[in-house]
Amino acid sequence: MLYLVGLGLSDETDITVKGLEIVKKAARVYLEAYTSILLVEQSVLESYYGRPILVADREMVESNSDEILRDAQTVDVAFLVVGDPFGATTHTDLVLRARELGIPVGTVPNASILSGIGASGLQLYNFGQTVSMVFFLDNWRPASFYDRIKENRDIGLHTLVLLDIKVKEQSLENLARGRKIYEPPRYMTVGTCAKQMLEVEEEKRGGVYGPESLAIGAARVGGKTEKFVAGTLKELCDADDLLGPPLHSLVLLGRRTHELEYDYAREFAINRDTWESIWKAEYQGRQ
């Protein structure tokens, strides 16, 4: 059987008891290593699990899935995913490929950013569509997220923005020349995300959000050093020092923000007076 095992959000101890039992008995254990990362090294996982782990990068999962699925009709193979196994569509593709080969599939769910973001004090029922923000390039500035955020804001819902990570990426030159040379890992910060969002708003001029829109920056959600910072998008452009190391996420507040959500988030506002005045003017009474 192929088992997709969620690892949770933080460290080696976040795996469930069921997941750990599967890992210990599996013939091979793979760690998906490009849609997200844990806050501990691979060696720490191997020591805790008592098993060697094979790192599965994007190329292996998307182009060489047969190696992962090898002999899975007769032995157990564990595929470890940070967060929850179905937080990325690539893993749906892996399951479909297993089905084509007649391989049974089992899933072990775990916490993901989609549930962990509730620690910000915002109610999960009040979230709309989740969107992703990628690093902008000089000649590539995708803005498809803008319309999704507008749809959320039109009905008053919060938007969770997942931020880009670059792991084992090649430069365009090295890719064109077929050179297996990889760029250093990069992790988008809340500050970069907020700046890019304001740049897109300036171009679109759709009034979806602006410098005074309220938002919450989140860092290392679920970990021991979890951190939230609330403020305007303009304030969050310069909040990276407050948030600290990756991984970061951003939440845009919907206009139906409940008073309890506001009260909770006010505790980690950069400027409580600003937070309160904007909330009263733009959000209060719309929940």
Sign of torsion, CA 70 74 75 79?
positive
Locate 165 and state its tokens.
């990570």
| Residue 114 CB neighbour total at 10 angstroms | 15
Quote the CA–CA distance of 112 and 211 in Å, as a whole number: 29
> Which residue in the block uniquely carries the two structure tokens 């095992």?
5
| Rg of the chain over all Cα atoms, to the nearest angstrom | 20
Find all residues with CB under 8 Å of 21, minimum gap 6, and list them: none
Pairing between β-strand 77-81 and β-strand 105-108 as defined by DSSP bridges:
unpaired
Are the C-beta atoms of residues 194 and 236 closer than 8 Å to each other? yes
> Which residue in the block uniquely carries the two structure tokens 């490929």?
97
Find all residues with CB under 8 Å of 176, minimum gap 6, and list them: none
- Distance of alpha carbon 2 from the chain centroid: 24
Are the C-beta atoms of residues 160 and 113 closer than 8 Å to each other? yes
Going by the annotation, the residues of the binding site for S-adenosyl-L-methionine are: 9, 84, 87, 112-113, 163, 221, 248
Going by the annotation, the residues of the binding site are: 9, 84, 87, 112-113, 163, 221, 248
| Residue 76 CB neighbour total at 10 angstroms | 18
Pairing between β-strand 227-232 and β-strand 248-252 as defined by DSSP bridges:
unpaired
